[in-house]
Structure 1
Amino acid sequence: MIVTVTPNPSIDRAVMIEALHPGEVHRATANRIDPGGKGVNASRALAAQGAETTAVLPIGGPEGHLLEELLDHDDVPRRSVPVSGAVRMNISILEPDGTTTKLNEPGPDLDTHEVQALLEAALGLAGGADWIVGCGSLPPGVPADFYASLVMAAREREVRVAIDSSGPSMSAAMAARPHLIKPNNEELEELVGGDLATLKDVRDAARSLVDAGIEIVAVSLGQDGALLVTSDEVVHAHARARAPLSTVGAGDCMLAGLLHSLTQGLSAADSLAVAVRWGTAAVALPGSGVPRPEDLRDVDVTVDTSPSLTYRLGH
């Protein structure tokens, strides 16, 4: 089972328009709402593919009740932690070419007891977990070392931990040495303090983190696919979305596919292929929709275990 921990979940409202013009009135061509937050999206993707998962998240306010209803609709098992503040509402503005503009609220202010309850809820599921995954931003009141505490406590219980976050919370988690991290290119640049223009740059940056004690670094590269680096492997995989609609949640689906495949005993190359297939399929769905098995059938993934490291990103 894969347990996801999302300290700052959301209701994701996607609004589709013809073109975004700041300062003007727009008429939506379509809209939808989905459960949101990185870990929530990962659990939704896993549940959609029939994999065992439990989402751990704080729930508060009328938005929290709506979030639980949406998760029930998607058949996502959850462990809800009651909090006094309301779950945030995020808005994504989607244009026909796939361009996405996001407006994210900060989230509720959690007190010390609520933070501890969230941590205990996640660790209470450790006995049956293959992975515990800490995902996303931290709401007000949650200390920057939250994910670091999660990593250390999970390690004591001999459970593998993956972290997908950014900023101070990611830096703190790195010091605790999670087994796997999934930064995107910009987040990796932030971690290593430099520009990463080529696959070699990404490989070298990821390897420096592996040398520092991270077993697997999986870097999502948008249209350039993903690069997975371990102490003895470098794998690049990419696929092309035929009709991109929204990038929201695609990286979360990628992480879900990667962890599910590793849990099933697949190789690094095969696991990354699955991950990129899930992520690419998500891009072809509206809002923060997650792929079901039928959405994966037409996604062709190219995998290279000896990639051309001179390849320039974004070209």
Structure 2
Amino acid sequence: MIVTLTANPALDRTITLGAALRPGEVQAADSVREDAGGKGVNVSRAVAAAGVDTVAVLPIALDDPYGAVVAAAGIQTKAVPVIRHVRANLTIADPDGVTTKINLPGDPVTAADAAAVAAAVVEASEGARWLVLAGSLPRGVADTFYVEIADAVRSRWVADAPLIAVDTSGAALRKVVEHGAADLIKPNDEELVELTGVELDEGSLADAVHRVARRLVPEHAASALVTLGGAGAVLVTADGAWFAEAPRIKVASTVGAGDSSLAGYLLAEHAGLGPAARLQSAIRYGAAAASLPGTQAPTPDDLGTADIVARSL
């Protein structure tokens, strides 16, 4: 089973335009859709679509309309009743797949609600293979929130504790790395630079990412899956590093593509596949998500058939 925590879930509204966005002008939209968003929720949606058990832990008020949207997504949830309502994110996508995203911060979380969320994650993690701590932290919790949850899960379940994957950025990711709290981190190349303070060398992007990620792996994180958008991804472990290019696709929306990449990696690991195959699965899932409108989670039927070659770095 794969358990996810979305500490700061969002209702994702996606507006699709018939032409490129023209700031300052009035434009008509071709379509609009709403999806249950938040990184952990996105991971659980892709995992569930592949037929693997998953539970999405998330804080949500009893009267929040988001509850109906996430229920329609068809995933098992462990809802933690809180006071605040889920925030909304707005994405504007044009016909070429260029997206403009506006994320609202949401209301603060109380200390009592944060403690309830942490306790729910510990309980849900019993028997899990992976725990995914994903997304931004809500206002009102410390930057060490993910570290505290990881420590609590490992303290409670000891040898039976799940592996922990973290997909966040900024101070929250920095704290995770400082404390060595993750078995897997999933930054993109820009987040990797922000995390380490080291610019990527000119030349091969994959080689540059590998050199910087090696500063973290395995001393500060057991492994790192670094997504590079349309360029592919790099996987760095204690035993080696691999790079694979992304297939050519027609981009509909890049929102949630990184989350689907993480889901693809976890699904391959769950199936017992090796690191190169996990990287290939991550790229295939990320590409499939980017080819779908809105924040849709790809199903196995959405995965492309293009050959994806993973090479050692």
* TM-score relative to the length of structure 2: 0.94
State the shift of 1:159 in Å: 2.0
Task: Give the one of 277, 294, 297 matched to 1:287.
Answer: 294
Instruction: Measure, in 2, the Cα distance between the counterparts of 1:28 and 1:61.
Output: 32
Partners of 1:29 and 1:230 in 2: how far apart?
44
Residue 184 of structure 2: aligned partner: 180
Spell out, residue by residue over 1:241-300, the C-alpha distance to the aligned partner (whole angstroms, 9 max, x if none).
421100000000000111121122110001111111111000100011111121114343
Distance 1:211 1:81 in 2: 34
Aligned partner of 1:190 in structure 2 is 194
CA deviation after TM superposition for structure 1 residue 154, in Å? 2.5
Deviation at 1:128, TM superposition (A): 1.8
Please report the TM-score for the alignment, with normalisation by the length of structure 1. 0.93
Q: Secondary structure at the match of 2:34?
A: strand
Aligned amino acid, residue 176 of structure 2: A
Residues 299/75 of structure 1: CA separation in 2 closer, same or farther (3 Å cut): farther
1:302 aligns with 2:309: yes
- 1:57 aligns to what SS in structure 2? strand
The aligned runs of 1:220-259 (5 Å cut-off) are 220-259=227-266
Task: Name 1:313's counterpart in structure 2.
Answer: none
Which amino acid is the alignment partner of residue 238 of structure 2? S
Look up the match of 1:72.
71
What is the RMSD of the two structures over their aligned residues, measured on CA atoms? 1.3
Give the whole-Å Cα distance in 1 for the aligned partners of 2:256 and 2:175: 24
Structure 2 residue 131 is the aligned partner of structure 1 residue 132: yes
For residues 162 and 154 of structure 1, the distance between their equivalents in structure 2, rounded to whole angstroms, comes to 13
3-state SS of 1:209 partner:
coil
Q: Structure 1 stretches (4+) deviating beyond 6 angstroms?
A: none
Distance 2:218 2:164 in 1: 17
**Secondary structure of residue in 1 paired with 2:215:** helix
Give the Cα separation in 2 of the matches to 1:153 and 1:260.
25
Whether the 8 Å CA contact 2:105–2:138 is kept in 1: the answer is yes
Partner Cα distance (1:113, 1:59) in 2: 14
CA distance in 2, matches of 1:125, 1:86: 22
User: Match of 1:21?
Assistant: 22
Matched, 1:8 2:8: yes
Distance 1:25 1:90, change over 3 A: same
State the shift of 1:212 in Å. Answer: 2.0
Partner SS, residue 239 of structure 1: coil
Measured against aligned partners, the alpha-carbon deviations of 1:100-124 in whole angstroms (never above 9, x if no partner) come to 1001110121100000000111110
Residue 278 (structure 1) aligned with residue 285 (structure 2) = yes
SS in 2 for 1:133: strand
Identity of aligned residues (%): 42
Post-superposition shift, 1:61?
6.9
**Which runs of 5 or more structure 2 residues have no equivalent in the other structure?**
none
1:202 and 2:213 matched: no
**1:190 aligned counterpart, secondary structure:** helix
How many angstroms apart in 2 are the aligned matches of 1:174 and 1:242?
Answer: 33
The question of 1:170 aligning with 2:169 is answered no
* Alpha-carbon displacement from aligned partner over 1:177-224 (angstroms, at most 9, x marks no partner): 211100000100011102224222210111110142311111000011
Alpha-carbon contact 1:251-1:279 (below 8 Å) kept: yes
- Note if contact 2:62-2:81 (Cα within 8 Å) is conserved in structure 1: no
